[in-house]
Each structure stands twice: as structure tokens, then as C-alpha cells.
Structure 1
Amino acid sequence: MTAFDTRLESAAAAVEAALERLLPTVAVVPETLAEAMRYATLGGGKRFRPFLAIESARLAGGDPEAAVAVGAAFECVHCYSLVHDDLPAMDDDDMRRGRPTVHKAFDEATAILAGDALLTFAFEILGDPAQVSDPSARAELALCLARAAGAGGMVGGQVLDLAAETADVPLGEADIRRLQAMKTGALIAAACEAGAILAGASADDRARLVRFGQIVGAAFQLADDLLDVTGDEAAVGKRIGKDADRGKATLVSIHGETWARTRLAELVAEASEILAPYGARAETLVAAARFVAERKA
């Protein structure tokens, strides 16, 4: 294992433990809801967005341990989005992370409500002084996450994605980039910004981390689109070939696999350049960009 692999696994374990501790139990909320929230959130995923929050806090001089709960809040939002994306009215997927999606393991109504509960629970975590002691940081973090997850970010991007499936003409490159920056990139960039907020970083450091997150978000979606064409379904843990089945344009379908791999390498170089002023301190985040570009699942 590389040093990056160790850091990624360590962050994932810390976030998993935080989620296990923070998520409501059957003693607090209705049994089925608690079970569905935990099913959707625990025991799977790389916890990549929390990892970015933790490592961005570290780079900006903050306490990475304090970023774990914030990372858990971001993971709740990410997991809620997956639960809703998998619904029949959205992507209509039966498998996620190698097991039945929430609406298959429970039912559609429970999946909708579990997603709603995870979204609101994320802000409960951020608003809890026991998790983030500085009131100013709590307010900034809540605003940061709300903007990234809402109508101008992830939700708006999903609306554009659904509209693209029924459009008379496939989306052009500029529209695809906008859609992907909202649906995927906004939450990834916000996770990096969250680390800077926790660290009380300077405006320049915060802007650099946001830009780094935007670049990584673009790489993440491009790699995802490439996996949808070339990936192994068992390794990916979900259905592949969905974009082609629905006639949906992606940057890969427009430019091809060779272009996509070249562009991924360029994005890694851009991510490295934006963090170059930090020298060796940025090695883990640069490795994260490389990990995204080269992922097989």
C-alpha cells in the first residue's frame, strides 16, 4: 500500500466510525427509517468527499480530526443523492456498491424518506456545537454545503441530466461541462472548501482549494463516464453502459476514449499546478487527483 492508500483508508475508517456513532438509531427514530438510513450510508464507498475535507483541512493548517464530523455530513448528502438517483423516477438502478439499492432493499417510499432524512441530518451535524465548536465556522459550512447540494449545484445538475435524456438534440460540450460541474463537481469542490473553512484559511488558500476541487470534480465525472464505457460491472458495483442505452451525450461519447485518457492526465497536471505553492504538503491531495483519474471502480 502507498502512503496515499493508507491515508485514504484511515480517513474512511474514521468517517465510518463517526457515521456509526452519529446516525440515529431505532431508539430515536422509526425503526425502518433508521435501518434504511444506515443501509444507505454504512459499510460501503471510499468516503472520498470526506477525505478531501480532511486533507484540505490538514493542508490549510487545521486539525484533520475536527474535519471528520464535517466529512460525515458531506457523506450523508452524497449518500442521500445516490439513494434518490437510483429511484425508478431517476436512473432506475437495482444495484449500488454491489448490493441492492435502497428502494429494492426496502421500498420506494422508504428510500425517498431515508434520502430526505440524510439530507437534513447533514445540517444537524454541521449545526451541532459538539461537532463544530466555532459558530462562525458552523454558519459558513452550512452555507457552503447548501449551495453545493441545492438548486445551483447538485440538484440543479440532476435536473439538467434528466432533461438531457429526453432532449430532441444531444447536449453540446459546453452544456455537458455545466451539467457535470453542478451535479458532480459542486459537492467535491465544497468538500475541499469545507476543509479550508475549518482551518480558518486565508482567502487565497480557500480559493486554491476550491479550484483544486473543481478540477478533481471534472476528473471524477470524466473517469466515471469512461468507466460507463469500459468498466467491469462487478468491479464498479453498479450497472454500466447506461449513458449509451439512453442516448445521452458525454465528453467520452463526443471525443472518444483516447481523448478522455489524455484529458484526465491534463486535469491531474492542472490539479498539481494549483497546489504547487504548498510543495510536499500537497502530496496527498495531488495523489487524490491521480487516484480519481486512474480509478477502476
Structure 2
Amino acid sequence: MRMRPRIVRSGAVPITPATRPATRRKRGLLTKVAVLTAGTAMSFGVAAPAQAEHDVAAMALPSANMEAVLKAAQIDPRRAGTELTPGSKASVVLVEEALTARGLLDGKYVDGHFGTATISAYAAYQRSLGYSGIDASGLPGPTSLQKLGSQRYTVTNVVSAGSRVTYHGRTMNTRTKAMLVEAERLLGRQLSVTQGSYNPGGVGGSAGTHDGGGALDLSVQGMTSGTRTDVVRKLRNVGFAAWLRTPAQGNWAYHIHAIAVNDPDQSSAAQHQAGDYYLGYNGLANRARDDGPQVTKVTWEEYKRG
């Protein structure tokens, strides 16, 4: 009896004794790859399936640069118009969209300009978290910014004021202290602090600038005019908005007033002074032109990056 030839469908590979072992080996390899467990993933230093999914989800979120957001929140409310702070638009829009989603900001203000409307909306959000005083000034802090962005954005370039410490006999935060220490290093001398930070109502002429963090008054006793200017310049070099104050400007003696730019603990008054500094003003109520030495304006974080 004649044997019928075996019919092979188009595209199929006939299984023969010669091909069967290779096929089994291939299937076995696929099976082993498919059943990669969390334990084996850890042993090979790769993400397990659940962790990988979480990482992919996190990577998919846009990022808000806190340094840029803080800078815009200081400068934009002091502008006459609605110009944007360079490099801040994308991050500010993310914050504004999150505030709008919570019903705190009208959608027409989602424009990348961190103006007074956005400040008010952010302050309302801070109050909803139970914050008050300088913690609800509308200036974003790391905790509130991260909570606002939950499942919407991640926060990069986080800025922290740090803890409160005593330096030269005055209270300030660790970020401000580090800035002052660096300025002293550049000057080759130590400075005398006459008023520190977190001093609400301490000096009437301060108009609330020292109520929060990042604010210092420095003595200029015994300094020549050139030395005073050099001190202001070095303070500006490391990220302070700094000016020489004179008796002709107000009811005070000669001293240097300094605000740490981008300090998230600033009072509203200090926040306004930092913004005015960037816009070329003297930080006083008359908003006269800046009379200090001209430098490239930087934050402390920018200075450290060189």
C-alpha cells in the first residue's frame, strides 16, 4: 500500500525528529523568560514587573522645577505686566493646572505667569493643608508643591530652607547660614549680624521682611565705603538680594540688608524684595532704581553649580 505524502500548510514548519529538540529548547527559553519573578529580578538587579510598571508610570509624569517655580513666584507678582520669568513657564503651568483642577484658580490664569492670582490660589491651597502665617504666603514650599502635584507631576530641583540654627548669635536657617559662610569666605572676614530671620515684629523699620526665613541685617561699623560695596557684591554673588541702607533712606543707621533669593520660608515682604531685586529696584517702598553693585543675579543653588 502506498503512503500518502504529509500535507504541510503554507507557512508552517514541519516537525521532524531533527527539528523537535530545537523547538523544545526555544519554547523552554520563552517559558523561563515569561515567569521571571520578583526574586530573580532582584538577584539580577532589574525591576520586577510591578515595580517596573510603577517606574514607567512615574517616568510618564512631567516634572516641575521647584527652583524655577520659586523664582517666578517672587518676580512675577512684582511685574507691571504679564511677562514670564525665563525658564519657568512649563513648571509654573503645571502648578497652575493643578490649582485649577482643585477649583482654586480660574483657567484663564493658566499661562505660566506666577502673578498675584496664582499667589492667592496657592495660599488658599496651603491653608487647605492646615498651614498658616508665613507657611501660607503663597510661596511654594517643598511639601505643599509635592502634594499638589500628586499623580500630576514630579518635583525636581527641590529647595529646602533647612532647620533653624544660631550663627553669630542670631537665628537663621541652614541654607541662609551656608550662604553667609560662603560670602565670608570670599571676603576673607567674618560679618556681624544685627538682625536674623524668623523675627516677627523685631524691628519696626523692617516692615515684616524678617518675619520669615532668609533675611539678615549686617553691621557696617568700621567699614570704608569701598568695603561696604564689596560686602554687598559678595553677598549678591552667592545669591542674596543685598543693599546698603543709609539714614537718608529711612529711620535707621547705616547697615546692609540681605534677603536670600529663593528661600521658601520668606515672608511676603521679603518675597517682594527678592522680586524687586531681580527687576532692578532697591527693595524699598519707593521702588527706586537699584543703587548697589551690578552682578549676575543667581540663586544659591545656581551659584553652587557654578
TM-score range, shorter chain: under 0.3
More strand by percentage: 2
The structure number with the bigger radius of gyration is 2
Higher helix share: 1
TM-score, with length taken from structure 1: 0.23
